[in-house]
Amino acid sequence: MEKSQEELQKEYDEAVAKREQYQHRCQRLENRIRYYTDGERKKRNHRLIVRGADVESVVPEVRGMSQSEFRILVEQIFSLPEVAALVSRNVDQQESD
């Protein structure tokens, strides 16, 4: 039982249309993944920028420091027992809220 040329063409056209639908669905899913991963990156960047601005507003002297000087200063500050205790207390407080 052979199919006519028209039937074969119709099946071909349907298969092509289905393939295009799947390609579009795949593209939408990839776009959604990109949206969510980029969104997380943007949130992180925003948080880092805001925190850096907060530090500069509290201690304007850090504006003139190089990145390595600033990093050394931050490491020294956070190695102080008083600061470590404050950070620990704030983290514990946030977790209990």
- Per-residue pLDDT at 88: 92
User: Which among 47, 25, 29 has a CA at the least distance from the CA of 37?
Assistant: 29
pLDDT digits (tens, 9 = 90+) for 15-48: 999 999 999 999 999 999 988 888 888 899 999 9
- Per-residue pLDDT at 40: 86
**pTM value > 0.85:** no
Q: What is the DSSP string of the chain?
A: -PPPHHHHHHHHHHHHHHHHHHHHHHHHHHHHHHHHHHHHHHHHHHHHHHHHHHHHHH-GGGGGS-HHHHHHHHHHHHHSHHHHHHHHHHHHHHHH-
pLDDT category of residue 89 using cuts at 50, 70 and 90? very high
pLDDT digits (tens, 9 = 90+) for 53-78: 999 999 999 999 999 999 999 999 99
Amino acid at the residue 5: Q
